[in-house]
Amino acid sequence: MRALALVALLTAFPNRVVLGQWYVGVELGSARYGGSAHDTSSGTGPPTFRPGDATMIGVRLERVVGRLGVALRGSIGKSGLAASGGDLTIIDKSAGQLFEVATLVAVRVGGIGPSGAVRAELGPALHLWDVGDETRSRIGPTGALAYDWPVAGRFSGAIRLEGVASRSWFEEGDLPPEYDLRPTLRYGVTLGLRYRL
């Protein structure tokens, strides 16, 4: 309930200082995946199936008031499908387009140097995984630890370490019965450049 009140306050607050704290930015990230499906037998198939690792490109709209902020981020990448076992991973990039939309609440938790800020971010993320003729949606919590620093003028840079968890991106019947469906985990690092409006 407090998060909803914060979003309403940040959206409706008429102060000129607040209006000057809008940011728009672009992001480039590396996403790694784990979980999804695990072979519970000692069969001849690969031990795990999961989305393939992906390079994500995104845009971000953010509003900051003092130590608090809210952001909306949309990103896209080509994850494909990965079969892993031991030191070998085979990725089929012909399927598995990924769209992600996340709403984040950020709190400044510290700083590095005279003007750098360390922020903790939490919120829900919606994943749309396009596999062939079907689009699967998954919602899960996302969290990040970010460091922002000034670059020049109204531009600032950011680096983020983040993670997302959701239910398995596979459905019952997608894989042989010996595969146990597990939560899909995404973690990665993102670099961003943003502009203060």
* pLDDT at residue 140, rounded to an integer: 94
In three-state secondary structure terms, 8 is: helix
> What pTM, to 2 d.p., does this model score?
0.77
- Work out how many domains the chain is built from and give that number: 1
Give the pLDDT band of residue 157 (cuts 50, 70, 90): very high
Residue 73 scores a pLDDT above 80: yes
Average pLDDT over residues 66-87: 87
Give residue-wise pLDDT tens across range 7-54: 544 454 544 444 548 999 999 999 998 888 888 877 666 788 888 888
* pLDDT at residue 43, rounded to an integer: 65
Helix then strand count (H, E) for the chain reads: 2, 11
* Terminal CA-CA length for the chain: 29
Average pLDDT over residues 55-68: 93
Q: Which residue has the higher pLDDT, 89 or 27?
A: 27
* pLDDT at residue 2, rounded to an integer: 52
Residue 145 scores a pLDDT above 80: yes
- CATH number for the domain spanning 179: value is 2.40.160.20
Domain residues for the domain of 77 are: 2-196
Query: How far apart (Å, rounded) are the C-alpha atoms in residues 158 and 192?
Result: 5
Kindly report the number of other CB atoms within 10 A of residue 17's CB atom: 9
Residue 153 scores a pLDDT above 50: yes
